[in-house]
A and B are shown apart, each in its own frame.
Chain A
Amino acid sequence: MALMPIFALMQFTSQIVEQAVEALSSFPGIGKRTALRLVMYLMNRPEIEVTHLADALIKLKTELHLCKRCGTVSDQEYCDICRDPRRDETLICVVEDFSDLMAIEATAQFKGTYHVLGGLISPMEGIGPSDLNIEAILQRVKEEGPKEVILALSATVEGDTTLYYVAKKLNEFDVVVSNIARGISVGGELEYVDEITLGRSLLQRTQYTIN
């Protein structure tokens, strides 16, 4: 293995390399050492490959939309799931974000549609109900008249608060509100729960009653 430099003392011989290292090391979980390794790797790849990567990154900002109906990330006005005629439109699963949607898709247990809130209510982080996609789900229920809305939110203080808030708002509509069985993952974030457990908790969901 090549010698790894001590970064505090390190002097770059190229500003271009230094900038790339700086940029990559701002990513979560990536330190300077890893960033340098990635830069060295990229320097040795064919130009077309690197251009391809750069394009993909730019498109994340320029061409990505949020689905007009469910709020998930999408290349078009409506996402692939919303446009898929095989999905059961009478079932809406409410999730915190895109990665939770992916986690539930990975269970292969759910054939309905989604609604992405874009976060959870957390005044400590400056996120109130109006910062989330909550009005839109009420509107959707009113217009689409689904049979059931499943709330699949993390078993955290923020998840619990959002759960109650949304459930109570949905209470005025003629729709069954259920939540996933969360006993198994108390305190846990949805995306970290394994597929089998998550799939099971989705199947074992219970009707949410407001007391």
Chain B
Amino acid sequence: MRVKELKLYQFKNHRNASWSFGDKINAFAGLNGVGKTNILDALYYLSATKSYFNHSDQQLLLFGTNEASVYAKLEKDQEYEILAGFGETRKKTFKRNGKAYARLVDHIGFLQAVFITPYDISLVFEGSEERRKFIDYSISQLNKDYLHDLIAYRKILDQRNAFLKSLEGRLLDTLLLESYDRSLVPIGTRIYEIRKKFIDEFLPIFQEIHLALAQTEISVSLSYESPLTSETFSAVLQANSYKDVQAQRTSQGIHKDDLVFEIKNMPLKKFGSQGQIKTFVVALKLAQYQYLHRKSGDLPLLLLDDIFEKIDASRSQRLMELVCSDAYGQIFISDTHGERIRAHFAPFDVSFRLFELEPEDSV
């Protein structure tokens, strides 16, 4: 899949801007704050129906404006136009070829993108939610049923938690708890099974890419941690019901699953060097890309934000070599120095387009 054209209207610092893209490398260069990352985020927005960085769409509106849109012309099996619009007083809509999706989730998976940013380090250092998001994003791009299960699980869990909270020492209505659990158990079990299968398929891809990137035989691994590994979900809920009432929330379940990163059989977070951690994280993201590619046959967009700040020169050269191969499709990359990007790609015979952003281009 390729993006032929992108138009931003009042999206972050871009008042009215458009670009026509080449088939392989599209580079954005310019001073700090000129809006390079914002362009990558707009492409991500078209993929995920939300920003990679901002939790609320309100923060994406150009200061002082009250609506925004992101438009792209794509080439897939045929040509498509995607138009996302949102604002303070209007409902957010996504349109494909002029037709609005009934629900935003219906768009997920249509325009796949993998975003590599300096913030990815939070996969290692933040709580387990980041790692569950990584797993869920990878699977949801390809599996609609899984995505719907996640949404349903969240709804039931929110009600169950609100119920536990409403008790405040009052007698537990065991029948109501039971009615939440009987809905939660089959959905949670399905999610667990699919995550487990995902890790099994993902791990060898990750190891292969890590080896290609690090170019040293250093053992790396991922293991999926879930209470469902050793017990059924209903046993887990039952065993924790007293604790849940005390804590006023659901203490165990697939909403607490985690992914443990290991290097030389030790926890990465504690024992990885800075460079090792950066390489690990880039390999995770590239593996996510390859997982999506190999499963769907399509080539997702690859968004590389400030990649040269992240890894050392020899590894970044390795990275360029990898992404210039046929196993990767169209790439959007940002850097403060246009000539630095050009130099990185010079050794490879790929189409290269450089967009130099000037501060007045945008605001």
**B163 in contact with A129 (CB, 8 Å):** no
B228 interfacial by beta-carbon distance below 8 Å: no
* B160 nearest CB neighbor, chain A only: A123
Residues of B within 8 A of A128 (CB): 163, 166, 173, 176
Task: State whether B156 touches A157 (Cβ < 8 A).
Answer: yes
Quick check: is A116 within 8 A (CB to CB) of the other chain?
no
| Contact (A124, B175) CB under 8 Å given A161-B183, A164-B182 | no
CB neighbours (8 Å) of A157 from chain B are 152, 155-156, 159, 183
Question: From residue 144 to 172 of chain A, which have CB atoms closer than 8 A to chain B?
Answer: 157-158, 160-161, 164-165, 168-169
A123 CA / B176 CA spacing, docked (Å): 10
A122 at interface by CB-CB < 8 Å:
yes
Residue of A nearest to B158 (CB): A124
In whole angstroms, what is the CA distance A45 to B121 when docked?
68
Task: Give the complex CA separation of A165 and B176 in angstroms.
Answer: 6
Shortest Cβ gap from B4 to chain A (Å) = 35
A165 touches B159 (CB 8 A): no
Q: Does B350 contact A (CB under 8 A)?
A: no
Report Cα–Cα, A161/B152, bound state, in Å: 13
Cα separation A129 to B152 with both chains bound (whole Å):
21
Residue from the set B155, B165, B179, B182 with the largest chain A CB neighbour count within 10 Å:
B179
B158, B165, B176: the one within 8 Å of A121 (CB): B176
Q: Which residues of B are found within 8 Å of A123, using beta-carbon distances?
A: 159, 162-163, 165-166
In the complex, the answer to whether A124 meets B176 with C-beta atoms within 8 Å is no
Separation in Å of the B122 CB from the closest CB of chain A? 29
Cα A158 to Cα B176 in complex, Å, equals 11
A85: Cβ under 8 A from any B Cβ: no
A29 at the interface (CB under 8 A from B): no
- Is B52 on the interface with A (CB-CB < 8 A)? no
Tell me whether A126 is interfacial, beta carbon within 8 Å. yes
Bin chain A's interface residue count: 10 to 19
Query: B134 contacts the other chain (Cβ, under 8 Å)?
Result: no
Pick the most buried of A121, A126, A129, A161: most chain B CB atoms within 10 A of its CB.
A161
Is B180 part of the contact surface with A, judged by Cβ < 8 Å? yes
Residues of A within 8 A of B163 (CB): 123, 128
Contact with B along A104-130 (1 / 0, CB 8 A): 000000000000000001111010110
- Chain B hits for A121, CB < 8 A: 176
**Chain B residues near A168 (CB, 8 Å)?**
175, 178-179
Known: A123-B162, A124-B162, A128-B166. A161 touches B175 (CB 8 A): no
Point out the residues of chain B lying under 8 angstroms from A161, CB to CB: 159, 176, 179-180, 183
Question: Contact at B162–A169, with CB atoms within 8 Å?
Answer: no
Is there contact, CB below 8 Å, between B183 and A124?
no
Contact A158 B159 (CB under 8 A): yes
Contact A160 B183 (CB under 8 A): yes
Q: How far is the CA of A161 from the CA of B163 in the complex (A)?
A: 12
The CA of A123 and the CA of B168, in the complex, are separated in Å by 13
* CB of B3, distance to nearest CB on chain A (Å): 32
**Which residues from chain B contact A122 at a C-beta distance below 8 Å?**
159, 162
Instruction: For the complex, give the distance between the alpha carbons of A123 and B158 in Å.
Output: 9
Bitwise, B147-188 to A at CB < 8 A (1) or not (0) is 000001001101100110110000001011011101100000
| Minimal beta-carbon separation of A140 from chain B (angstroms) | 19
Q: Mark A53-79, 1 if CB is under 8 A from B, else 0.
A: 000000000000000000000000000
Q: How near does chain A come to B275, taking the closest CB pair, in angstroms?
A: 46
* Nearest-neighbor residue (CB-CB) of B180 within chain A: A161
Flag B173-215 by CB within 8 Å of A: 1 or 0 each.
1011011101100000000000000000000000000000000
Q: How far is the CB of A15 from chain B (nearest CB, A)?
A: 26
Q: B156: nearest residue on chain A (CB-CB)?
A: A157
Query: In this complex, what residue of A is CB-closest to B89?
Result: A31
Residues facing B in A128-149 (CB within 8 A) are 128-129
B230 to chain A, nearest CB (A): 24
**Chain A min CB distance to B102 (Å):** 11
Residues of chain B lying within 8 A (CB to CB) of residue A124: 158-159, 162
Q: In the complex, A126 Cα to B159 Cα: how many Å?
A: 10
Check A126 against B175 for contact (C-beta < 8 Å): no
| Minimum Cβ distance to chain B for residue A204 (Å) | 23
Residues of B within 8 A of A160 (CB): 179, 183
CB distance from B249 to the nearest CB of A (A): 12
Complex-state Cα separation, A126 to B167, whole angstroms: 11
Contact partners of B152 in chain A: CB under 8 A:
157
Task: List residues of chain B with CB under 8 Å of any chain A CB.
Answer: 152, 155-156, 158-159, 162-163, 165-166, 173, 175-176, 178-180, 182-183
New A-B pairs, 12, CB < 8 Å, besides A122-B159, A161-B183: A121-B176, A122-B162, A123-B163, A124-B159, A129-B176, A157-B156, A158-B159, A164-B178, A164-B179, A164-B183, A165-B179, A168-B175
A-B contact pairs, 30 of them (CB 8 A): A121-B176, A122-B159, A122-B162, A123-B159, A123-B163, A123-B165, A124-B159, A126-B166, A128-B163, A128-B166, A128-B173, A128-B176, A157-B152, A157-B156, A157-B159, A157-B183, A160-B179, A160-B183, A161-B159, A161-B176, A161-B179, A161-B183, A164-B179, A164-B182, A164-B183, A165-B175, A165-B176, A165-B179, A168-B178, A169-B175
